Amino acid sequence: MRYHERITHVLKDGERTEGEYVLYWMQSAQRTIDNHALDFAIRYANRLNCKLLVCFVIMPDFPNANSRHFMFMLQGLKEVVEKLNDIGAMFVLSVGHPEIEVVKRSVHAKSVVMDQGYGIYERKIRENILNKINAEVYIVDTNLVIPVHKAYAKEAYAAYAIRPSIMRQMDAYLEGTYDVPLTCRHEGNPFVLDIDAIFHTHLSSLTSVPVSPKFKGGQSEALKWLNTFISEKLEKYNANSSDPGLFGSSNLSPYLHFGHISPVTVANAVLSSGQPCDAFIEQLIVRRELAYNYLYYAKEDYRDLKRTLPRWAFETIESHRDDEREHIYDLQVLEQGLTHDPYWNAAQKEMVLTGHMHNTMRMYWGKKVIEWTESPEKALEILLYLNDKYELDGRDPNGYAGILWCFGKHDRPWRERPIFGKVRYMNAAGLKRKYNMKDYVSAIQLLEGEQFEK
């Protein structure tokens, strides 16, 4: 059984006999279903015959987070708290920084469990916490099907490099978790999460971005989207998913980003449906894990194109740096979706209004910003800003890898052309020829009208 291969064991002074509980710092896996870190913490607390304390730390200064992100997160966290109350786990909510709050809670812990972080910022927090804790620590990789360090031992050049390793191991890592009861239940008053009070007291100074009318946070909401996808869209996913006008995607990316649903849950449900699902598994596991592989092994900041792009991609973009641009748009015009291109404008407005953008349009959206800004560096700056501000799944390995793909990351050279050089090009004529763009634009205009009326 591969369950324990998800765990990194960090031995400090060993488990404490005088501790009061096992501490689980929940951060990236905000759910109770198929959460291998929570499952391990429950089993370990049972073995030590002690209680389980789940700690969650709200970080108001989390990079680029705003009111939209925190509301979605708190909606999911409210459900998590209710489930933890049901199983008899203690729960504590702190506002501040994990390096203070988690370390403080660890003083009375027999052992500490935390879920895996993948980005440089998240991993640095864990490293700093480890340096301050004098107890046995377990780090559990639960937000990928194949743990990042098992999927591929170094940064993968492209999907073709990582795919064989993933497909060879996938079945062995599809084991979910089981409802193991806590032996030592907390019998005190249940924790009550008051979202409005938290917002008013701690988050009112954040950048204000409207809550998405389409997506509500939580593992039950994620399961609704999953069930709808399997019953209504999966059968035709291979044919329809690329067409923005058919809206054939799963809409699960926000929930995967916040850990409200596990890719193991999604993969098992899809694979057991009896429907063709190879194309979806490619996106859910291969492409997603390629993105996490990149961010995990990246030695440099993804904002540095020279260091993060393949040599051919950077050199070809550099050689076309001074090519003439027919259109140049500043951030204000782009953010409001006021360009000459109705397809691009619709994609931008879909993201601003809902916190989500169709994957094909996300690629087109990125390519056009490269074409419409004065330099590759400016294009990257704008794309990262808009992605992180509006996308519910922004600030995510998938989002960053997807933006860099627009510059040639994880891709191959194509026919040379102005501005892009040998980097893949996309245009409006291609969208119109291949896809049902009229319905896509109409749907976004209808959504925009509904929001305007409100």
Q: What is the pLDDT of residue 2?
A: 66
Residue 417, helix vs strand vs coil: strand
Among candidate residues 391, 392, 152, the one with its CA nearest the CA of residue 292? 152
Q: What is the pLDDT of residue 452?
A: 55
Residues 6+ apart with CB under 8 A from 9: 136, 137, 138
- Indicate if the pLDDT at residue 43 is higher than 90: yes
Q: What is the pLDDT of residue 303?
A: 85
Distance (Å, rounded) from C-alpha 219 to C-alpha 224? 9
- Indicate if the pLDDT at residue 188 is higher than 70: yes
Q: What is the pLDDT of residue 111?
A: 95
**pLDDT per position as a tens digit, 310-365:** 999 999 999 999 999 999 999 999 999 999 999 999 999 999 999 999 999 999 99
Q: In the numeric block, which tokens belong to residue 34? A: 């198929």
- Indicate if the pLDDT at residue 1 is higher than 60: no
CA atoms within 13 A on the CB side of 257: 22
Q: What is the pLDDT of residue 298?
A: 86
Residue 16's pLDDT band (cuts 50, 70, 90):
confident
The residue extents of the domains of the chain are 3-143, 301-453
Is the CB of residue 294 less than 8 Å from the CB of residue 401?
yes
Residues 6+ apart with CB under 8 A from 143: 28, 29, 115, 116, 118, 256, 259, 262, 263
**pLDDT per position as a tens digit, 89-144:** 999 999 999 999 999 999 999 999 999 999 989 999 999 999 999 899 999 999 99
Q: What percent of the chain has pLDDT over 90?
A: 92
Tell me which of 14-28, 214-228, 243-257 is least confident: 14-28
CA atoms within 13 A on the CB side of 219: 21
Q: What is the pLDDT of residue 238?
A: 95
The CA–CA distances, whole Å, from 60 to 65, 114, 198, 199, 263 equal 8, 20, 11, 10, 27
Model-level pTM?
Answer: 0.96
- Indicate if the pLDDT at residue 451 is higher than 80: no
Distance (Å, rounded) from C-alpha 249 to C-alpha 239? 11
- Indicate if the pLDDT at residue 38 is higher than 80: yes
Locate tokens 């925190």: which residue?
Answer: 70
| Residues recorded for the chain | 454
**pLDDT per position as a tens digit, 200-233:** 999 999 999 999 999 999 999 999 999 999 999 9
Is the CB of residue 125 less than 8 Å from the CB of residue 98?
yes
Q: In the numeric block, which tokens belong to residue 237? A: 């996913």
- Indicate if the pLDDT at residue 411 is higher than 70: yes
Is the CB of residue 264 less than 8 Å from the CB of residue 35?
no
Q: What is the pLDDT of residue 437?
A: 98
Q: Tell whether domain 301-453 is in CATH 1.10.579.10.
A: yes
Q: What is the pLDDT of residue 453?
A: 53
- Indicate if the pLDDT at residue 169 is higher than 60: yes
Do 301-453 and 3-143 have the same topology in CATH? no
- Tell me what the mean pLDDT of segment 14-27 comes to: 88
Superfamily of domain 3-143: HUPs (3.40.50.620)
Distance (Å, rounded) from C-alpha 400 to C-alpha 305? 12
Q: What is the pLDDT of residue 434?
A: 97
- Indicate if the pLDDT at residue 277 is higher than 80: yes
Is the CB of residue 182 less than 8 Å from the CB of residue 52?
yes
